[in-house]
Chain A
Amino acid sequence: MIALLPKENLIPLLIRLGEKMEVIAPVAKGEGPDPVFVTWRGQALALDKSPLIPPIEFLLPQKEVLFRYVQESGSYTFEETPPKTRLVFGMRPCDLQAMAVLDKIFGSEPKDGAYFGKRRWTTLIALNCTSPGEDCFCSQLGSGPEASNGFDLLLTELGDGYLAEIGSPAGMLILRDCSDLLKEADEAHFSEKHRLLESAKGSLDLQAGQGRSLRQMRQAIKDADWEALGKHCLSCGGCTFVCPICHCFNILDLGVPDGERIRCRDSCILSGFSRMAGGANPRRSPGERMRNWYLDKFEYIPKKTGFAGCVGCGRCSRTCLAEIDRFTLEAKR
């Protein structure tokens, strides 16, 4: 089933879904230029721009409890919190592709139950990208501007509404339960969608003119002077915390004798990331750590998952304090 959701019915649709599950959606926050994904409680949606912090925040949060340990007469009992049923609304094709890569990484044996505990209960309503950002180069990596799979429901913003396409049984159920909010879609809507996405692709190809294909990127990694680039890198880890595929994490305990074992985000760019208790550190210099980051994204993750470890969202370049263009490998300062 394919339908048209009139613009005025988007909020009623989210309200109805919100009765059954937590709705995560992008909203404007304060004076900041970027929308943020938050638990939606009726705020105005901000759908014109992709949020700087990717929605994987809801699968691999900055901080989450893996389990609680409770001491009882010497030994321990362990308590887990059941995951929430969630809907993530408005994620872009690049983030959807990133989630597919994370599903492969966390799903390879041994599977990460803490990740899939959340993932299994997450419904995805994606939004095709008709107005890509100026740092985006997703078309080079095949992750946008149009989503082809991985969503439960896919919306494309047209002049008079959102074209809604089904990607899974969960998506079909949403359309069935909300059929009173929908209109029938026709050929004209499809050609409009096609036209809008072609124009988005055109503008992406223009701004990616100086960019690279995956193959060229691999060659650039081989040729790069990593120690020179490393001199620019501030080792702040900003690029990794906004990347929708970066997933390095740390595990630590809070509380004695009872407490929580916490998982929190970490970054391979930080100087102490691979340092061992004795003090030895296999990747001491910022250049070595940057090189490892690139090799993981363009060599190791593709080998493991079949997908590049980069979706071309451009967030790393936008965030880099040293103004290193992370795709052309040029230090702008």
Chain B
Amino acid sequence: MNQYIPLQAEIVDIDIESPNTYLISLALLNDSAEFHYKPGQFVMVSVFGLGECPISITSTPTRGIFQLCIRRAGKITNGIMDSRVGDILGIRGPCGNGFPLEDMKKDIVIAGGGSGFATLRSLINYIVDRREEFGKVAVAYGARTRRDLYFMQEYKGWQQAGIDVGITVDIGDESWKGNVGLVTSIIDQFELKPGSAAICGPPVMINAVADKLMKRGFDHSDIYVSMERHMKCGLGKCEHCMIGPYHACLDGPVFSYDKVKSVI
């Protein structure tokens, strides 16, 4: 069997999240294909002729949809964003471990920075759909400006599901009435009791949020971090995504903070 041959998926919808970010809905062509994913997992996405890159899944498996959030960053993401509804992408996966929902405590803080929020949306909507299985849930999310915020139309729904939602931007303007500042300033506003945390964002933001949470009584092994790495094979062979002894594509991308804090 050649694990490098991808499944094929048709682009069925494209939403514009921000000027350089699209939310792309896909439908797999191979009906028989077993494709079951967990929040926090990712797929290797192909644009044939340009290549393949890892993209986190942004939809929740509880809704029977499959969505990717793509930001213009390089050759392949440009290729995906230049595609149209009806075009075919290659999909390998789902890859990686995802968030360890079975090991996580019921009270969860979710903190995202920038495009790292895409993978956390999967977890948030999963929690919304299975709200009774979770306790106190809080979401802190920061982006550069108001125009860079993703999924704005969903915040209200999350609040209606009893989730604390705090949004902040680095640079405010007259159209923005909310917080201006770092994600950590949002965490300060939450009433928290020590539970689990899920973080994804730039390394500086991850460390700052983890520090803040540990000061508030969270154990470093309860803080889960989704790591970004360059990847090629998604099978733990090509060695591009090595994080110390781990492969982000197999052992991650989600790691407990105690395992990876020395390399963030």
Contact = CB atoms under 8 A, between A and B. Distances in A.
Interface in A234-260: 247-253, 255-257, 259
A248 B238 contact: yes
Interface in A269-324: 273-278, 280, 282, 292, 295-296, 299-300, 303
Given A249-B232, A251-B52, A277-B77, A67 B238 contact: no
B235 interface: yes
B48 A256 contact: yes
A111 B86 CA distance: 33
A266 B230 contact: no
Interface string B3-27: 1110010000000000000000000
Contacts of A114: 2-4
B88 A255 contact: no
Contact of B238 (A69, A80, A257, A266): A266
A111 B235 CA distance: 8
B88 to A, nearest CB: 5
Given A253-B50, A257-B48, A261-B4, A74 B88 contact: yes
A110 interface: yes
B1 interface: yes
A110 B3 contact: yes
Contacts of B203: 280
B48 A253 contact: yes
A110 B92 CA distance: 13
B51 interface: yes
Nearest to A277: B74
Contact of A299 (B4, B29, B53, B245): B245
B240 A273 contact: yes
Given A67-B4, A251-B51, A259-B48, A268 B73 contact: no
B263 interface: yes
A75 B1 CA distance: 21
A269 to B, nearest CB: 11
Q: Is the interface of B mostly helix, strand, loop or mixed?
A: loop
A66 B2 contact: yes
A266 B4 CA distance: 17
Contacts of B239: 247-248, 268, 296
A239 to B, nearest CB: 14
Interface string B49-79: 1111100000000000000000001111100
B237 A106 contact: yes
Contacts of B77: 277
Given A66-B4, A80-B2, A292-B242, A110 B235 contact: yes
Interface string B161-203: 0000000000000000000000000000000000000000011
B229 interface: yes
B238 A296 contact: no
A67 B232 contact: no
A67 B245 CA distance: 30
A78 interface: yes
Contacts of B76: 277
A105 B244 CA distance: 16
Interface residues on B, range: 35 or more
Interface in A98-143: 105-106, 108, 110-115, 117
A67 to B, nearest CB: 5
A257 to B, nearest CB: 7
A74 B228 CA distance: 32
Nearest to A259: B49
Contact of B88 (A75, A112, A248, A276): A75
A247 B237 contact: yes
B238 A249 contact: yes
A256 B51 CA distance: 11
A71 interface: yes
Contacts of B88: 74-76
B232 A300 contact: no
Nearest to A279: B73
A105 B235 CA distance: 10
A24 B75 CA distance: 38
Given A71-B48, A247-B237, A296 B242 contact: yes
Contacts of B2: 66-67, 80, 113-114, 117
B91 to A, nearest CB: 12
Nearest to A249: B238
Given A75-B8, A78-B5, A248 B51 contact: no
A282 B48 contact: no
Contacts of A117: 2
Interface centre among B75, B203, B242, B250 (most CB of A within 10 A): B242
A47 B17 CA distance: 64
22 contacts: A75-B29, A76-B48, A76-B90, A78-B5, A110-B3, A110-B235, A110-B236, A112-B235, A114-B4, A248-B240, A250-B240, A251-B232, A253-B50, A257-B49, A259-B48, A261-B52, A268-B239, A277-B73, A277-B74, A295-B244, A300-B245, A303-B245
User: Sorted from nearest, which 9 A-B pairs have the closest CB atoms?
Assistant: A277-B74, A256-B49, A277-B73, A66-B4, A248-B239, A300-B245, A113-B1, A113-B2, A251-B232
Given A250-B240, A276-B73, A296-B239, 14 more contacts: A69-B48, A105-B237, A113-B3, A115-B237, A250-B232, A251-B232, A253-B48, A253-B51, A277-B53, A277-B75, A278-B73, A282-B243, A292-B242, A295-B245
